[in-house]
Amino acid sequence: MEYNGVWTLGEARDGEIKEVSFELLSRGRKLADKLDEELVSLVIGDGITDEQAEELIKSGADKVYLMNAPALKDFIAENYSNVIEDLIKEYKPEIILAAATSMGRTVMPYIAIKTNAGLTADCTELDIEEDTGNLLQTRPAIGGNILATIKSPNHRPQMATVRPHSTKPAEKDESRTGEIVHLKLDSSLLDGRVKKLGFRKNEGDAVNIQDADVIAAGGKGMKKGENFAMIRELAGYFDGAVGASRDAVDRDWISYPYQVGLSGKTVTPKLYFAIGISGAIQHLAGMKTSENIIAINEDPDADIFMVSDFGIVGDLFEIVPELNKQLAEEVK
């Protein structure tokens, strides 16, 4: 049977649909229009209401496949994979997009093997090849120093994970209408092996830096952990998140969830402050797609100034407090 339709894999936690789900729809909409096919948002979870599903339709989905089941409340790779694999066999979508998140980057490769599909990780651009209709998937590799464009000409579905924040969530159109299809869970698809024993929320100011619009990151130049206080203050003025370079995390001044870079997280905020960060390839890989980059460093030759939109060369222990002072005035 002919493969048809563009699917986006929505993400929900505790009955709430996550922002990335709407980002995926703005990606998916473009592709679906080019192919003149329908755009489906598949959401798996527990207690997701039709009202919430409507939001997906207003954001561009033609159809929402909604599967609610207590057993699907938590993301368990094996269960989600079995369910999605089963739906793929039934509906044969041509394209499946998921977010490059801890869920998407886990379940998609698991499914791709089972369905013998091509999968491209952490894409930043997606398009449709004119004559063939193949999905063109562009992603940074080798620390973002090359942009590779990839396609899967002979395999369906074509699967990709998309870098969070690499596009804006779709504009809501209240007038849009679409169909909500409630799917029943076939419990034989549940894989009982893995048990979730609990969940520990990040302590303190540890907001997920990949969701943040503004990130203030500190590096080796911070000299010690206590000095991150001024970074937290700076981030505070923007309701932003705190980030760090590998050097700072290696020195245990701040914990790993904050690490930006090749061996940490990749972020794409509107505004990124690199403070006391020299800008090794390792770090640039994780943040150079940020919209605006501000660098503060005492070394004028630091590579960070090559990628920054605005830089100040000097002692960060003078500059950052002054910046905080002037920002405090602004917010007043």
User: Minimum distance between the CB of residue 59 and another protein, rounded to whole angstroms?
Assistant: 21
Nearer to another protein, 176 or 317 (CB): 317
C-alpha to C-alpha distance for 244 and 261, rounded to whole angstroms:
9
C-alpha to C-alpha distance for 331 and 274, rounded to whole angstroms:
22
C-alpha to C-alpha distance for 63 and 181, rounded to whole angstroms:
7
User: Minimum distance between the CB of residue 164 and another protein, rounded to whole angstroms?
Assistant: 9
Nearer to another protein, 180 or 190 (CB): 190
**Pairing verdict, β 12-13 and 16-17:** antiparallel
Nearer to another protein, 141 or 182 (CB): 141
- Say whether 283 counts as a known binding-site residue: yes
Print the binding letters for residues 157-196 with another protein: x by CB under 8 A, - otherwise. Answer: ------------------------------------xxxx
**Scanning residues 7 to 46, which ones bind another protein (CB under 8 A)?**
13
Residue showing tokens 């869920």: 103
Peptide bond into 157 cis (omega under 30): yes
Per rule CB under 8 A, count of chain residues that contact another protein:
102
C-alpha to C-alpha distance for 291 and 307, rounded to whole angstroms:
11
The pair of structure tokens assigned to 23 is 């980002």
User: Minimum distance between the CB of residue 263 and another protein, rounded to whole angstroms?
Assistant: 6
User: Minimum distance between the CB of residue 23 and another protein, rounded to whole angstroms?
Assistant: 14
Q: Which stretch binds another protein (CB under 8 A): 25-33, 55-63, 141-149, 180-188?
A: 141-149
- Say whether 280 counts as a known binding-site residue: yes
- 217: β partners: 243, 274
The pair of structure tokens assigned to 269 is 């905020």
User: Minimum distance between the CB of residue 92 and another protein, rounded to whole angstroms?
Assistant: 16
- 1 to 34, 130, 158, 176, 211: CA distances (angstroms): 21, 23, 15, 30, 39
- Say whether 246 counts as a known binding-site residue: yes
Confirm or reject binding of residue 3 to another protein (CB under 8 A).
no
End-to-end CA gap in the chain: 63
Confirm or reject binding of residue 49 to another protein (CB under 8 A).
no
Q: Which of 33, 148, 179, 239 binds another protein (CB under 8 A)?
A: 148
Kindly state the DSSP code that residue 153 receives in the 8-state scheme.
T
**Scanning residues 271 to 310, which ones bind another protein (CB under 8 A)?**
271, 280-282, 284, 288, 292-295, 298, 300, 303, 305-310
C-alpha to C-alpha distance for 74 and 238, rounded to whole angstroms:
32
User: Minimum distance between the CB of residue 216 and another protein, rounded to whole angstroms?
Assistant: 12
Nearer to another protein, 50 or 191 (CB): 191
Nearer to another protein, 124 or 167 (CB): 124
Print the binding letters for residues 100-119 with another protein: x by CB under 8 A, - otherwise. Answer: -xxx-xx-xxxxxxx-xxxx
**Which secondary structure element, helix H or strand E, spans residue 263, and what is its range?**
none
- Say whether 308 counts as a known binding-site residue: no
The closest alpha carbon to 247, from 271, 279, 295, 294, belongs to 279
- 21 to 100, 151, 326: CA distances (angstroms): 11, 23, 37
Residue showing tokens 């090794």: 280
**Scanning residues 201 to 240, which ones bind another protein (CB under 8 A)?**
201-202, 208, 210-211, 214, 223-224, 238
Known binding-site residue numbers for FAD? 245-246, 259-263, 276-283, 297
